[in-house]
Amino acid sequence: MDFHGTTVLAVRNKGKVAVAGDGQVTLNNTILKHKAKKVRRIYNDKIIVGFAGAAADSLNLSERLEAKLERYNGNLTRSAVELARDWRTDKYLRRLEAIMIAVDGDNMFVISGNGDVIEPEEGVIGIGSGGVGAQAAAMALINHTEMDAVDIVKASMKIASSLCVFTNTDVTVEEIQTNH
């Protein structure tokens, strides 16, 4: 899946995990909105999710993930796997055009409609049109600075916005403490 029009970045560093998403909403080559919220907390504020793709599809997936979390007592791993399974096998869900990052104090996943549940090895993942640039910037900052997770996502999103025309500097950041 190749999504244009957003950048979402998650970073785990120094006892925190931070997720940032830019606020730009585009339709073809037109900017429709500057301050959309693509990152939010769910499941009693214990899980942070961020989305790239169609807004309605993203909200639908957020609600479905939260329902899975309720069913599996907040177990993000089990909920992510079950959501990906449903997404891949259900005729209606397969048409959803979105990709999501979901994090808690222990886990970080990218969940896609292809049935993917991917946990990054380095504790950094970016999605969307500026995701690669943001992820590369975050990796460099983790390895060469003493910045914490929040400062890294903010700086990395600023770098991504300077490279990707579909990414702006109006960034939403959410953070939680890690459990290790």
Active-site position among 6, 7, 167, 178: 6
Answer yes or no: are the C-beta atoms of 79 and 42 closer than 8 Å.
no
Answer yes or no: are the C-beta atoms of 154 and 162 closer than 8 Å.
no
Residues 6+ apart with CB under 8 A from 71: 79, 82
- Tell the residue number behind the tokens 């919220």, with chain if given: 37
- Tell the residue number behind the tokens 């990395």, with chain if given: 156
Two tokens, residue 34: 């500057």
Question: What whole-number distance in Å separates Cα of residue 119 and Cα of residue 102?
Answer: 10
Q: How many CB atoms lie within 10 A of CB 62?
A: 19
Question: What whole-number distance in Å separates Cα of residue 153 and Cα of residue 134?
Answer: 8
6 is catalytic: yes
**3-class SS of residue 135:** helix
Q: What is the DSSP letter of 119?
A: -
Active site residues: 6
